[in-house]
Amino acid sequence: MNTLGIISEFNPFHNGHKYLLDKAKKELKPDLAISIMSGDFVQRGEAAIMDKFSRARVAINCGFDLVIEMPGFVTLQSAEFFAEKSVHILNKMDIDYIVFGIENINPDEFLKASQIIIENESKVDSLIQKLLASGLSYPKAHSEALLGFVCKDYLSANNILALEYMRALHRTNSKIKAYPIMRIKTKNEDKKINDKNFASSTAIRNNLNKDVKNLMPDSSYKELIDFSTEYKSFDYDYIYKIFKYKILIEKSPMSNILGYEEGIDNYLSKIARISNSYDNFLDKATSLRYTKSRIKRLVINYILAYTLDLNDYDLSFINILAYNKKAAENFKNLNKNIDIVINKSDLKKLNNSDLLVYKKIIEASNLYSLVIGREIDYDFRHNNRPI
């Protein structure tokens, strides 16, 4: 069975995502197209614009056969770990191709440049450590170090994440083949809408007060409208109050939380005491050393008690968010090395560490539900039949 996997957020699913999938399916002709998708919180430490089930439904309606959830503790980490754990899951599923978007350079150039970096990994790491010691943030130090080996066009956030997929494939001695596809019309970092049919997810989220219908497949736009009509928008000040309670009143330890660095708890405590809003807190906390995304990830990790030991777990299950009949017919081919969870009854198959990860998945969903005004334990009430 020929399968392709795409690691995604779909926040929201737009025409660029559809282009990537359609091109990959046309060229690779897979029997199954699978997406590992972030849950209700995404890698920048923000809540998704629509919940995971809405976004997963869109993905199936737009051509995917199966959408599985990336656990939140994986999503809310650096690009390096985000990529490595995602590839680990794809390896267990015996995926044939990992497909991802790149920009500024063509696929052959990207693959050659990535190989150069991988071959010089020890030199790159040494340069990064020197730059970190000088006070640069990790993303900045990483980019500066790479400039000694690749051209500037290679260095975009989109391509750096793609590089991490390549490094993860190399480190795990994966049989999966990388299949980069060049983005068209827009770049991942674009914040403005510059084309009538294509825009980045960021640009769409930043311009919801304008007409964005032509930038998204019809099913994605409909889900967005339906979701925003039914539920409240995500209130970050609500989250900030929980954070302040935990760090200032409960004084819950932070040292074992993912993303922690020695002294950052005292640093954030002082800022939280004088900041009355989340935006103000983030503005004060962001520095050359601590990026805004890193602070936002740490806040959610702290609230959800995502601890360092989670990184040591060998995930051996997938939580299915949406699927079609073709995927259902092929589940037996996917669960040779990994357990499949569709309904609550499937939990009896899981070992203790997987059960803990699943519990964390539900806690993240419930936090999201609390803020948007949705019933708790929605995951267990959600209708999870083939689409």
E strand or H helix at 366, and its extent? Answer: helix 352-372
Q: Was 142 annotated as part of a binding site?
A: no
Q: Was 101 annotated as part of a binding site?
A: yes
Q: Was 333 annotated as part of a binding site?
A: no
Tokens matching residue 377: 């334990």
For helices 218-230 and 52-61, angle between their N-to-C axes, nearest 10 degrees? 160
Q: Was 7 annotated as part of a binding site?
A: yes
| 85 touches 315 (CB < 8 A) | yes
Q: Was 17 annotated as part of a binding site?
A: yes
Report d(CA 212, CA 16) in Å as an integer. Answer: 13
Q: Was 249 annotated as part of a binding site?
A: no
Q: Was 323 annotated as part of a binding site?
A: no
Q: Was 18 annotated as part of a binding site?
A: yes
Report d(CA 139, CA 385) in Å as an integer. Answer: 41
Q: Was 73 annotated as part of a binding site?
A: no
Report d(CA 148, CA 127) in Å as an integer. Answer: 9
Q: Was 9 annotated as part of a binding site?
A: yes
| 201 touches 214 (CB < 8 A) | no
Q: Was 13 annotated as part of a binding site?
A: yes
| Measured CA distances, 27 to 30, 180, 181, 255 (Å) | 9, 12, 11, 47
Q: Was 152 annotated as part of a binding site?
A: no
Q: Was 11 annotated as part of a binding site?
A: yes
Report d(CA 311, CA 227) in Å as an integer. Answer: 33
Q: Was 183 annotated as part of a binding site?
A: yes
**Residue 70 phi, psi dihedral angles, 5° rounding:** -80, 120
Q: Was 63 annotated as part of a binding site?
A: no
Report d(CA 373, CA 323) in Å as an integer. Answer: 26
Tokens matching residue 335: 């669960």
Q: Was 10 annotated as part of a binding site?
A: yes
Report d(CA 318, CA 335) in Å as an integer. Answer: 9
Question: SS3 for 135-171, per residue?
Answer: CCCHHHHHHHHHCCCCCHHHCCHHHHHHHHHHHHHHH
Tokens matching residue 339: 């357990």
Q: What is the DSSP letter of 289?
A: S
Q: Taking CA 84 as the corner, what is the angle to CA 180 and CA 329, rounded to the nearest 5 degrees? A: 70
Q: Residues comprising the binding site for ATP?
A: 7-20, 101, 158, 183-184
Q: Residues comprising the binding site?
A: 7-20, 101, 158, 183-184
